[in-house]
Amino acid sequence: MENLLNWLDDRTGYRSLVKNALYERIPGGARWRYVWGSTLMFAMFVQFVTGLVLWAAYSANAQGAWESVHYIQNVMYGGWMLRGIHHYMAQVTIVLLVLHLMQVLIDGAYRAPREVNFWFGLGLLGLVLGLSLTGYLLPWDQKGYWATKVATSIASMTPVVGPAMQQLMVGGAEYGHHTLTRFFALHAGALPAGIVLLIVGHVYLFRRHGITVPKKAAEKPDGWFWPEQVLKDSVASLIVMATVLALVLWNGGAHLGAPADPTEPYAAARPEWYFMFLFQWLKYFPAGWEVVGAQIIPGIAVGMIAAMPIIGKWRLGHRFNLGVAASLLLGITMLTWTAYAADQADPAFVQARAQAESIAERVSELAGSPDGIPAAGGLAMLRGDPATQGPIIFEANCSICHQYNGHDGLGGTPDDEPSASDLGGYGSREWLTGLLDPDRINTPEYFGNTEHTNGRMARFVQRGIAGFDDDQRAALRNVILAVSAEAELPSQATADEADQDAIREGRIAISSEAIDCTRCHTYADVAEGDVAPVLTGWASRQWIMGMLRNPSHPLYYGDNNDRMPAFGDEGILSEAEIGLVADWLRGDWFVPDGN
Amino acid sequence: MSDEKIEPPAEPRRSFLTSMSAIVLGAVASIVPVAAGVTVLLDPLRKKETASAQVFVTRLSAVPEDGSPKKFTVEMDRVDAWATYSNTPVGAVYLRRTESGDVAALNVVCPHAGCFVGLAEDKARFGCPCHNSSFDLDGVVNDPSSPSPRDMDSLAVDVRNGDEIWVAFQNFLPGRHDKTPV
């Protein structure tokens, strides 16, 4: 073994390299205050390792990015942990960088001869922020998509070259596949390469100039980098790692929103917390001053930091620099705090965030359904989900007249009293029981604010049913079960199965003398009256879709249609949208096991 | 890692030619991959002018009669790098019946920084959820402290065959006073 190592040393000189690397003399001995640079090295190491493995599972295209990240997060063994570490270490890195920078400023370690190394450090800070910015987009979820749109918009404000810059970043006129390929090339290629180069330069210059020793430590005996300082560095790195693990576990891994959708509003669009001060800052610049707020003033601030080694040469220069740094830090903290306070105090934002969260959870459920994520991607999957799309379509198109369990579909309170029936639970026994209740049919819940309030149905319920004897009541009960069974609601499948006999009797009773629905309604092959909506397949998917296409169709209300538009025939809603509303009203959507 | 002192070669005049040749030839060789790379990197600048395409959005009956705006998704064919999508959602517009009986269309994208402008709950104004830009129902900036440099981007509307609403859909660069197509 010894011979082998001697041979290797002879050919490579590795011993002197290791010796140079490890046996660095530390004036005044190893100290805890020297660990910050090493923790940053450790953070970079973690990001390289986790990033490389994430890369091995990530697909940089608009139809595969969200999908592949979802797969990493939810299917791959330990994927959520890996992504969580990468995500939270990125944030801890920012904190460590700021601490490191602050320490360098306070100790005056940026002054001659260390100017160049200070600039290397600033360059590293810039590259790390670049990594954060590009990394935020890569999952291609709503959050990253909208936040990054703001970032590229700001780039486009740059005088003269702005539009070209934006186009080069985005990889074309609009966000798409090439936006991801480019951001990924920056995130995983160009920026890390720059970081490696700058770290090499940074460490080389650091070794060249030696550590900045605080005055009180100067009299203490010297120590060595290995193993005394390395032990302290290792402990500090372990604490950093433990902090990140705690963050990952506490938050259940990194968040993944719903897939990016340029056509859906995302009122919860916010950058990462360390960019929130810039976000807030932009609010203060009225029209015409955007460039000043977004570029010129931040540019001046960065310029002042970069000029610190030069300013520091003058008498009082160091104090001036410290004053600048403290003001910046204070300003940034206040802006950040204001931004979060403003959001918390804004009910619209709180609601938007809750809605975004519930959609994100729903997407995850859908991805776990037996159908899984289709080749068309996660967004197409979400767009075909009645549970989330139904309420949106209902709110936009139906809630002007109808309510859904007293709200507008999305949980909001409508301005006006409903002018048509409440469709919550439509098709169910309960809904039908209410309609056939003499006390309820003419309330706003049913026909109250419609023309039907004076119609034959209302008259039948209020005069006929009100005077039913016990036998007729029993028959009516069976009719309700039978008509409701036509809907074949998923939520009622068990009950319909259990009440088979009653339903069979109810079917006969529909056209019996005692109840006689078929005087007006068509049912099965009995079509005597045919002036009211058909009861065959009532509230089934087909039935509701037909009603939405054209309520004035002879099968439905015919000439008795009140004010309901022909959503299909008039082209207000597409077939797909009509199907989504029908499925949603019927409660027919994928529900994961255990719910 | 030897500490021997390195002496520069003698006869600097002759070596001048050598060094210049070394630099020039090396640079010429290196410029090839760099130029090839930069050329491809700049490809997005070589864009075709995106003419605004007339696209069918909805029918007149779908636009609220009370003059309040309503959001509509715009679906059209789109080429995204290597993939062609037919009839895919590419953006959204607010449609609204104006007092004069026409239909007006506004692109939902905020002219300030590109967020999705929302409709206030009372449907009486538009507000951006990002930096609080505020617009009236015609899309005109209605608050002097609004950060938006211009009004919301109006789009030309063409009503065909009596009730088909066709919109000249286009996106514009945010953060500028003038409406520059993307």
Q: What is the ipTM of this complex?
A: 0.89
- pLDDT recorded at residue B92: 94
A263 contacts B58? CB cut-off 8 A = no
Q: Which residues of B touch A290 (CB under 8 A)?
A: 112-113, 147, 149, 175
The C-alpha R_g of chain B, in whole angstroms, comes to 28
Task: Assess B79–A contact: CB distance below 8 Å, yes or no.
Answer: no
The C-alpha R_g of chain A, in whole angstroms, comes to 34
Task: Assess B51–A contact: CB distance below 8 Å, yes or no.
Answer: no
CA distance A341 to chain B (A): 14
Torsion angles phi and psi, residue A487, rounded to 5: -70, -25
The beta-carbon neighbor of B115 closest among A150, A156, A264 is A150
A166 contacts B173? CB cut-off 8 A = yes
* Contact status, residue B81 vs residue A177, Cβ threshold 8 Å: yes
Token pair, residue A371, equals 């159908």
- pLDDT recorded at residue A224: 84
Q: A residues 279-318 near B, CB within 8 Å?
A: 279, 282-283, 285-288, 290-291, 294
Per-residue CA distances from B70 to A213, B61, B97, B127 (Å): 66, 12, 10, 14
CA distance A210 to chain B (A): 20
Task: Assess B81–A contact: CB distance below 8 Å, yes or no.
Answer: yes
Torsion angles phi and psi, residue A485, rounded to 5: -65, -25
B116 contacts A264? CB cut-off 8 A = yes
**Element of type H or E holding A8:** helix A2-12
- pLDDT recorded at residue A399: 87
Return d(Cα A184, Cα A68) in angstroms, integer.
Answer: 14
B171 contacts A168? CB cut-off 8 A = no
What residue in A sits closest to B128 (Cα-Cα)? Answer: A267
- Which tens digits make up the pLDDT trace of B143-162? 888 889 999 999 999 999 88
Q: Which of A450, A508, A441, A443 is nearest to A474 (CA)?
A: A508
Under DSSP, the state recorded for B70 is E
Task: Assess B171–A contact: CB distance below 8 Å, yes or no.
Answer: yes
Q: Which residues of A touch B89 (CB under 8 A)?
A: 261-263
The CATH class, in words, for A31-265 is mainly alpha
Instruction: Give the strand order in the sheet containing B103-107.
Output: B70-80, B83-97, B103-107, B154-155
Task: Assess A574–B contact: CB distance below 8 Å, yes or no.
Answer: no
- pLDDT recorded at residue B51: 64
The beta-carbon neighbor of A157 closest among B62, B89, B175 is B175
- pLDDT recorded at residue B49: 56
Token pair, residue B179, equals 């409406």
- pLDDT recorded at residue B1: 43
Domain ranges across chain A = 31-265, 270-345, 386-585
Task: Assess A396–B contact: CB distance below 8 Å, yes or no.
Answer: yes
Instruction: Give the strand order in the sheet containing B53-59.
Output: B53-59, B164-169, B157-160
The beta-carbon neighbor of B80 closest among A62, A146, A166 is A62
What residue in A sits closest to B71 (Cα-Cα)? Answer: A396
Token pair, residue A21, equals 């690397």
Bridge-based pairing of strands B126-127 and B134-135 is antiparallel
Task: Assess B151–A contact: CB distance below 8 Å, yes or no.
Answer: no
Torsion angle of C-alpha atoms A375, A380, A382, A387, degrees rounded to 10: -110
Domain ranges across chain B = 12-44, 53-169
A171 contacts B116? CB cut-off 8 A = no
* Contact status, residue A258 vs residue A141, Cβ threshold 8 Å: yes
Return d(Cα A436, Cα A418) in angstroms, integer.
Answer: 19
CATH of B53-169, one of 2.60.120.460, 2.102.10.10, 2.40.30.260, 3.90.1150.10: 2.102.10.10
DSSP three-state, residue A568: coil
Mean pLDDT, consecutive 10-residue stretches, chain A (595 aa), reads: 93 90 85 91 97 98 95 96 98 96 92 92 96 97 93 87 90 92 97 97 91 78 87 96 98 95 87 92 85 90 95 92 96 96 92 90 93 92 94 88 91 82 95 94 92 91 91 93 95 94 93 87 80 92 96 91 90 91 95 77
CA distance A93 to chain B (A): 27
Bridge-based pairing of strands B118-119 and B154-155 is unpaired
The CA-based angle A351-A357-A360, given to 5 degrees, is 140
Interface residue of B43, B80, B142, B172 to substitute, partner A, most A CBs within 10 Å = B80
The 10 Å CB-count burial string (b at 16+, else e) for A304-321 is bbeebbebbeeeebbeeb
Task: Assess B23–A contact: CB distance below 8 Å, yes or no.
Answer: no
Give the DSSP letter string of A90-145.
HHHHHHHHHHHHHHHHHTTTTSTT-HHHHHHHHHHHHHHHHHHHHHHHTT-BHHHH
Torsion angles phi and psi, residue B17, rounded to 5: -60, -45
Q: Which residues of A touch B64 (CB under 8 A)?
A: 400
Instruction: Give the strand order in the sheet containing B118-119.
Output: B118-119, B126-127, B134-135
Note the residue count of chain B: 182
According to DSSP, the residues that pair with B89 across neighbouring strands are B75
Query: For the whole model, what pTM was predicted?
Result: 0.89
Residues of chain B with pLDDT under 50: 1-2
- pLDDT recorded at residue A193: 98
- pLDDT recorded at residue A474: 92
Its sign, for the CA torsion A432, A435, A440, A444, is: positive
* Contact status, residue A380 vs residue B88, Cβ threshold 8 Å: no
Q: Which of B78, B80, B50 is nearest to A163 (CA)?
A: B50
